[in-house]
């Protein structure tokens, strides 16, 4: 078994933390993990990407070959589209629907969202709204981890256990809102999937 995820977004959104949460949860479950990140100049408000490879057999490259990714998991819709050619033909694209418009030539948002929905397997997640409802506007990445959890070969229990550990030193409120955000993301996809 092998599951390859491209995590994308804009610098500062928390692309690396999404990758780190899924990776740590996968390890908890005994999977092998390779994760490639971008540091330095790329993090200053530009397009950011992380490669995350989960497997129960040896994986050597930290980069995912073109056309082989199982999932694009994005914090921003335009950024999700950038990596469509990385997906295999049956691959899944999950993205937060709220755009980050920090460039002058950002396309019409309707066109971007239509392009996402035109893909064979895609989900738009209103992650910002769900995060606010969960009590922390900053938990957008946790909503997206929840959304991804429906598909990735890592159990929700392993992820929740990691979240408990990750926020153990923070306030009860921060921990609760993150757990809530994770579950909200998971439920959002669950609803879609059953419709």
Q: CA 130, CA 28: separation in Å to the nearest integer?
A: 27
Pick the closer one to other proteins by CB: 34 or 183. 34
**148 to 58, 60, 155, 171, 192: CA distances (angstroms):** 23, 24, 11, 26, 13
Between helix 15-28 and helix 140-149 the angle, nearest 10°, is 40
Shortest CB 187 distance to other proteins, Å: 27
31: phi > 0 → left, psi -120 to 50 → alpha, else beta; which?
beta
DSSP 8-state secondary structure symbol assigned to residue 108: P
Pick the closer one to other proteins by CB: 16 or 145. 16
**127 to 10, 38, 135, 142: CA distances (angstroms):** 15, 23, 12, 9
Site residues (vs other proteins, CB under 8 A): 10-12, 16-17, 20, 23-24, 27, 32-47, 51, 59-68, 78-79, 81-82, 84-89, 91, 102-103, 105-107, 111-112, 115-116, 118-120
Pick the closer one to other proteins by CB: 107 or 190. 107
Burial class (CB in 10 A: 0-12, 13-18, 19+), 172: exposed
Measured in degrees and rounded to the nearest 5, phi and psi for residue 44 equal -85, 75
Shortest CB 51 distance to other proteins, Å: 8
Pick the closer one to other proteins by CB: 118 or 194. 118
Shortest CB 65 distance to other proteins, Å: 4
Shortest CB 140 distance to other proteins, Å: 17
Pick the closer one to other proteins by CB: 61 or 137. 61
**163 to 18, 62, 107, 117, 171: CA distances (angstroms):** 11, 25, 36, 30, 13
Pick the closer one to other proteins by CB: 8 or 150. 8
Shortest CB 157 distance to other proteins, Å: 20
Shortest CB 130 distance to other proteins, Å: 24
């Amino acid at each position: 078994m092998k599951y390859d995820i491209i995590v994308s977004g804009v610098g500062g959104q928390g692309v690396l933390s999404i990758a780190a949460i899924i990776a740590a949860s996968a390890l908890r479950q005994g999977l092998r993990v390779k994760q490639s990140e971008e540091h330095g100049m790329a993090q200053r408000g530009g397009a950011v990407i992380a490669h995350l490879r989960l497997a129960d057999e040896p994986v050597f490259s930290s980069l995912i070959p073109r056309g082989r990714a199982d999932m694009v998991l994005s914090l921003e819709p335009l950024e999700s589209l950038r990596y469509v050619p990385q997906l295999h033909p049956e691959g899944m694209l999950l993205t937060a629907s709220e755009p980050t418009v920090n460039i002058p030539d950002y396309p019409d948002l309707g066109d971007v969202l239509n392009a996402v929905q035109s893909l064979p397997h895609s989900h738009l997640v209103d992650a910002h709204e769900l995060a606010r409802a969960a009590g922390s506007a900053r938990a957008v990445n946790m909503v997206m981890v929840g959304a991804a959890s429906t598909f990735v070969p890592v159990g929700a229990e392993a992820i929740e256990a990691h979240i408990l550990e990750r926020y153990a030193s923070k306030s009860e409120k921060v921990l609760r809102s993150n757990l809530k955000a994770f579950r909200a993301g998971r439920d959002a996809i669950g609803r879609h999937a059953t419709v």
